[in-house]
Amino acid sequence: MYYTTRRGYLNIILLGIILLALMALVSWLAYQAGGNAAEGRLGDAALPKVILERTDVGLTTISLAQNADLERTTGAARVGREEGKVEVDVVLAPAAALPERSILAAWLVDAGNLGGLGQTSVSEADQQYGTPFANVDFSQRVSDAPYALALGELVWDAARESYYLFYEANFSLEPYDAVMVTLESDGNEAGYDPRPGTPILIGAIPN
């Protein structure tokens, strides 16, 4: 009887060890699955940003660039209108530098009623329930002027050796006619003006 009882205790102990081992195995598998999922997310985030159907846009300096000694700046943009993606590279001339506390910002521009690059996308059909800003005169002046969509700040990319920006929207960029790079002399810091700063580069988007 003693042998039978002792053997029963051993069976219980072995069963407990087996259960603990199974729990450890399940925990390890869950940990590995979570790690693999996290690696997958990181892998997706690390994938190169690509514009599949792109239009190349050459950027040319305008006379205002001379005011900051940036007249020899060069740039190029790649626009995927349907994809809602824009890529911009800007290269300063050797020994040139951005003015202190200034940054470069990129914009897409739609021509207004009074002209500009490309065609205007002003539409009365978009205002059938009331004029923008609830003011007829002011709304007309706004429609006369070009509209600039802020893409963000260009930051130095050592690998590309250029100031670089990649912008991705969740809407079509079809209405826009030009890419513009501005010098934001306030650095877009606290209290900055959200409208474009001084334009130094601009290029029309080919149709």
Could you report the per-residue pLDDT of 7-25, keeping only the tens digit for each?
566 667 777 777 777 677 6
Helix (H, G, I), strand (E, B) or coil at 66: helix
Query: CA-to-CA distance for 68 and 188, rounded, in angstroms?
Result: 17
Non-local (6+) Cβ contacts of 106 within 8 A are 77, 86, 88, 151, 152, 154, 165, 167, 179, 180, 181, 182
Strand partners, 157: 162
pLDDT of residue 76: 98
pLDDT at 52 over 90: no
pLDDT digits (tens, 9 = 90+) for 93-141: 999 999 999 999 999 999 988 877 788 888 888 888 998 889 989 989 9
Out of 32-46, 51-65, 126-140, give the one with best mean pLDDT: 51-65
Confidence tier at 167 by pLDDT (50, 70, 90): very high
pTM for the model stands at 0.75
Q: What is the DSSP string of 102-161?
A: -EEEEEEEEBBTTB-SS-B---GGGGTT--GGG-HHHHHHHHHS-EEEEEEEEEEETTTT
User: Which residue has tokens 């969740």?
Assistant: 170
Could you tell me which residue, 31 or 45, shows the higher pLDDT? 31
Confidence tier at 30 by pLDDT (50, 70, 90): low
Query: CA-to-CA distance for 144 and 39, rounded, in angstroms?
Result: 50
Q: How crowded is residue 152: how many other Cβ atoms within 10 Å of its Cβ?
A: 14
pLDDT at 34 over 80: no
What tokens does 139 get? 């709304």
> 55, 79 in Cβ contact below 8 A?
yes
Q: What is the 3-state secondary structure (H, E, C) of 162-203?
A: EEEEEEECCCCCCCCCEEEEEEECCCCCCCCCCCCCEEEEEE
Element (H, E) at 10: helix 2-46
